[in-house]
Chains A and B, each alone.
Chain A
């Protein structure tokens, strides 16, 4: 063991190994952060949540930091709610029953680009008669546009940016989120910066009746990683994907390399039919395409990531690596100290576990480390084929969504780039360490 420790000290001499270890360290910190700040159940609930959870996010927008690029000034999402700010609302009693209600939402808009969407959500309290209101839009240059008029049901929404009627009649056929913010007669439309106001004026007809409004002016950027087609914050999947990817890669790598080594050692030691059987199984496994087998399991039985993990381990046990270990154990078997052990009467299993396997650990370590990235990518591969875990947020699932919704065609590059970046970062981190370990622990490669 001290030999290994000494060899590990040598890692310091390889800059790529240091870099790799740093990357792995950062990934571990991210994983811990993810698991601690967002509990497992919460992460799943958020990721599977629909409009109810993510309503305040814009759809398909790039991350907020893209605004730091020169010449880019995209709007951010602004939410105004009378629940959070009661001062926006004013109620004047007209008669005992009828009251006049006035909600005024003033805000500054000084970006280069138009908002992504605009929506107005209402919560109304009433027994029989719904509140009635008119919605106005006031631009910085003093124009007042009537958006809509009508009675308001509880939990109703007015999606301003989808109001085709408004678009045709009052905005010269510009989409509302463009027409309402554009300078008059500018072509192509330019944003008119300044103070805007959204005003709701109306009446409530019952003593206990009330009206609350929430105006969301959806931006063109969001958060650390942008949002996807379901308004979900991609950073959630990137964050939670990290512990899943690491756990998946590590467990699968440990499971398969250790079992492979033990089997190879047992095969070599007992030789005859045990060895023959293992050899034959390896031959059969060479013919089976693991991905297709996983696909079959996924379609017929379960897509849970843990079932996949178990299958991957089983398929990996009889891989080509077993031949590497076998040739190694064949050499060790002939060495004198094994003979000595046999002479003092050590049992078969004792020789296998105490004499054969420890000698092969230097070969196992780099193999094991270089196996991790391919397993992390395997998870993404499965997800891309539509066999990802149905509930967990993973990097592969983000890539799959992006691929399914034509992110590359539509120019949503951030959607593809951020999970890819994390995948390649993980891959590179482990491979760099693995390559350095291989050179240190494998005497034939020393100095190359």
Chain B
């Protein structure tokens, strides 16, 4: 008989750490000291180890984010297709610097390494949504959809 329920689970609870941090970040928008402490307590993993993991991986946010996180790739394939001018445009349009958040907390801008959209460059992720073949016109139209 086949099992009808997907078996999650790892041989060690420590392996649940990356997922637990993703969940915490999804729920709270970022990983605060209190958030890290809660994960540490839940999984019985030392707080220092949790902090070590949270600061190693680039997609964990260790400071408060805006409501929408613009993750724009400027790696080579996107750079040669004009990603830098898009970053400049975001500065002009929203006063956004890389790593910065708008005063109204609407956007945070994160410069990404390759996001696997090189054939449809330049590209970005806004929160969990992929947007490809960007140009100076459509990027603003797309961002208008994020309040």
A and B: interacting chains: no
